């Protein structure tokens, strides 16, 4: 069964690897990235991405529009 999964830190390292593997396993993945470039790179690989600055409340509010099954 396909799940909607939000991965924080999806721009690099373990988060990136996890996002790509879950996407390859046919899940809907929302990758939360720190920079626009990371988000573009992730999106180019078929993963929905969003840039969030955790020091900015307005930026964090962007996440409220998502309803993942798994965080």
Over residues 5-59, the pLDDT tens digits come to 999 999 999 999 999 999 999 999 999 999 999 999 999 999 999 999 989 999 9
Please state, in angstroms and rounded to a whole number, the distance separating the CA atoms of residues 3 and 64.
18
Please state, in angstroms and rounded to a whole number, the distance separating the CA atoms of residues 42 and 62.
18
Flag whether the pTM goes above 0.85.
yes
Please state, in angstroms and rounded to a whole number, the distance separating the CA atoms of residues 21 and 42.
12
Residue with tokens 């929905």: 48
68 CB-contact burial (10 Å; exposed 0-12 / middle 13-18 / buried 19+): middle
């Amino acid at each position: 069964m396909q799940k909607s999964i939000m991965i924080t830190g999806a721009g690099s390292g373990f988060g990136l690897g996890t996002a790509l593997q879950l996407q390859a396993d046919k899940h809907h993945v929302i990758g939360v990235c720190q920079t626009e470039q990371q988000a573009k790179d992730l999106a180019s690989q078929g993963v929905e991405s969003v840039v969030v600055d955790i020091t900015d409340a307005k930026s964090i509010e962007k996440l409220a529009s998502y309803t993942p099954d798994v965080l």
